[in-house]
Structure 1
Amino acid sequence: MARRRNELIGDELDVVQKSLKSEVMSFDGAMEIFLKDAKRKGLREFTLRYYVRECNDFRKYLAREEHSLIINEVVRRHIDEFIEDMQERRCLRTVTINTKLRAIRTLFNFLYERKYIDENPMHKYPLLKERKANIETLSLKQLRQLLNAPNMRTFTGQRDYTFMLLILETGIRLNEAAGILVDDVKLAEGQIFIRNTKNHFHRYVPIQEKMKEQLRRYLKLRGTCETDHLFVTIDETAMTRSQLQKVTAKYGKIANIKGVRCSTHTLRHTFAKLSVMNGAGVFELQKILGHSSMEMVRVYVNLFSSEVSEKHRQFSPLNNL
């Protein structure tokens, strides 16, 4: 009777590989492979931290509930129970829960596509339905209060005023503002080059005379530093994203602005609102804001366009009563 060969080949190796990949791999091991791939793809550090934070939140839940941390033993029921825990025990908002689900879905989609798991518990898993909240924006009066709050006789006051004015002028994201270098400011062309974008598509945003004047003033005060970043601390180091994030909130508090959250994102929404009210088209707005789709731009137009109100004045049935 012939002996069987000892060396595994072809389909036999696939059986072993599946076993090694899916049955033994831990949650931590899966995260390590996932993050290595994300780094190879050039994802931003901010995005990597997001995946680590949200996926590890799910891991903590599994460990607390004494579920298996073998990645192939995570099933759809665990996702359902995790959502119930976030809703009932932690009382998290729908938008927060969906943020976590997106990260977990990305992890499991990657593992399934790479054949590290045999079943994908997040396959076609729906996000929670959320009511669209009204988009918060600042009124013109609140904007004046905010922009009058910095002490313009200090370097930090000039810097923070320049930062807030730039967000209001261009609607760029916080992370995009943090990534601007001095050489990205093209005053002669009336443009700023945005390199640190969400979708990796670099773009130019236009700036007008008032913004150019303030940038000239700030650049002169900034002088030369070891860092190339536009916004710097008094120690002449680049301002981080988290430092810039606190700027608008700080002056909102000084100006005693109530009823609206003072943040960079609120300034971005305010830019969109005022642009739409002043007649900006959807294509121009999409390009300046750096949206990859029209969805959010349409939200702005639907909320803030004065065209519907103008038309309604003409066709209101009450006109004939």
Structure 2
Amino acid sequence: MARRGDLTEEEVKIVRKKLTDEEAFSKFVRECQLKNLRPSTIEFYNNEFKAVKRSLVEMEIDKDVIELKKQDFEKLILHLKEEIKIVSINTRIRALSAFFNYLYRVRAVTPNPMKNIRQLRDRRRVIETLEDDEIIRLTKFMKKQKSFVGERDLVIFLVMLDTGIRLSESVGIKVEDVRKNKLIIRDTKNLNERVVYPSKKVQACLENYIKIRGNLSHDYLIINRDNEPLKTRSIQTRFEKYKAEVGLEKQFSPHILRHTYAKRHFKWNGCFFIGSIIRSQ
């Protein structure tokens, strides 16, 4: 019989040394680092990979992740439907697809078991945003604290609400990036620097904050009580605290500010709105 085309799965196993899950994932991470992906993206892949390993144990599937076939992933998805939300399942599918696309590209697996695995249909939900009165309540509460943390949180809140920048972008701002009527955003998701233009009210808040921040050994704008750069998780925790103390019934997170900005920006054709809302506060 003539020998043409790719090796069969059995032949591949014979000629190719078997990778462990840990070795395969290590190679994948190295590839991500060579592509200069953000550390948070690599951490996302790591968390999703560990979650899949835990699910295999729960399902009593005695296989490594890299040994899984299409039917195994279908069983995994059906299992996850009983455990987590559709949006979380789709997140896991995206991570697995990226992992196996890489393994297939370097011929570590043949065929690609994720090739025909599609994300699940999900109902599109209305995205919550902040109303004027909620913005005012939060602004008043932060101001009443009369503390460095309160002033810092107010600046984070107003800058994100006024410009639509991401949480990860806000913690990457340095003092030198604040230039009168504009902010230079360097630590972006796609690595393309951009400029945003805060309103005059927010510019004034930034100027006051920089004065009380003072001169430090580093140039990061947003800092904690120990004068160290603030972590994104710390901001998320602070927002959760404000939600409880102000008594907001809806979700309140840094990403909600981005959605609020987008809604207002579209509604008012790009005009600034923060100054008019909080001018008298």
**Long gaps (5+) in structure 1:** 1-14, 282-321
Cα 1:265–1:203 shift into 2, 3 Å: same
SS in 2 for 1:136: coil
Which letter does structure 1 place at the counterpart of 2:270? A
1:144 aligns to 2:139 (yes or no):
no
SS at structure 2 position matched to 1:42? coil
- Report the 3-state secondary structure (helix = DSSP H, G, I; strand = E; otherwise coil) of the residue aligned with 2:56: helix
Contact 1:22 1:117 in 2 (8 A): no
Change in Cα spacing, 1:214 to 1:66, as seen in structure 2 (3 Å) is same
| TM-score (normalizing by structure 1) | 0.77
1:185 Cα deviation (Å)? 1.1
Matched ranges for 1:6-25 at <5 A: 19=13, 24-25=18-19
Gaps in structure 2 of 5+ consecutive residues: 1-8, 272-281
Give yes or no for the alignment of 1:94 onto 2:86: yes
Of residues 166, 177, 181 in structure 1, which corresponds to 2:170? Answer: 177
**2:260 maps to what in 1?**
270
Cα distance in structure 2, aligned partners of 1:113 and 1:155: 51
In 1, distance between residues paired with 2:221 and 2:200?
Answer: 19
Quick one: distance in 1 between partners of 2:21 and 2:45? 13
Tell me if structure 1 keeps the 8 A contact 2:186–2:194.
yes
What corresponds to 1:66 in structure 2? 61
CA–CA separation in structure 1 for the residues paired with 2:214 and 2:120: 50
> 1:213 pairs with 204, 208, 215, which one?
204
**Could you list the per-position Cα deviations for residues 207-238 of structure 1 after superposition, in whole angstroms to 9, with x for gaps in the alignment?**
12111100000000000122321111121011
The answer to whether the 8 Å contact 2:53/2:65 transfers is: no
Q: Which amino acid aligns with 1:165?
A: L
For the pair shown, the structure with the greater C-alpha radius of gyration is 1
TM-score by length of 2: 0.87
Aligned-residue identity in percent: 30
Cα deviation code 1:82-104 (max 9, x no counterpart): 1111112x2x1110111111001
Structure-1 residue corresponding to 2:30: 36
Relative contact order (alpha carbons < 8 A, sep ≥ 6): 1 or 2 greater?
2
SS of residue matched to 1:149: helix
| 8 Å Cα contact 1:22/1:118 also seen in 2 | no
RMSD over aligned Cα, in angstroms? 2.1
Q: How does 1:1-321 map to 2 (within 5 A)?
A: 19=13, 24-64=18-58, 65-69=60-64, 71=66, 73-88=67-82, 90=83, 92-150=84-142, 151-187=144-180, 190-258=181-249, 260-280=250-270
Compared with structure 1, are the counterparts of its residues 193 and 118 closer, same or farther at alpha carbon in structure 2 (3 Å cutoff)?
same
Q: Which amino acid aligns with 1:40?
A: L
| Amino acid paired to 2:63 | S
Q: Partner amino acid for 1:105? A: S
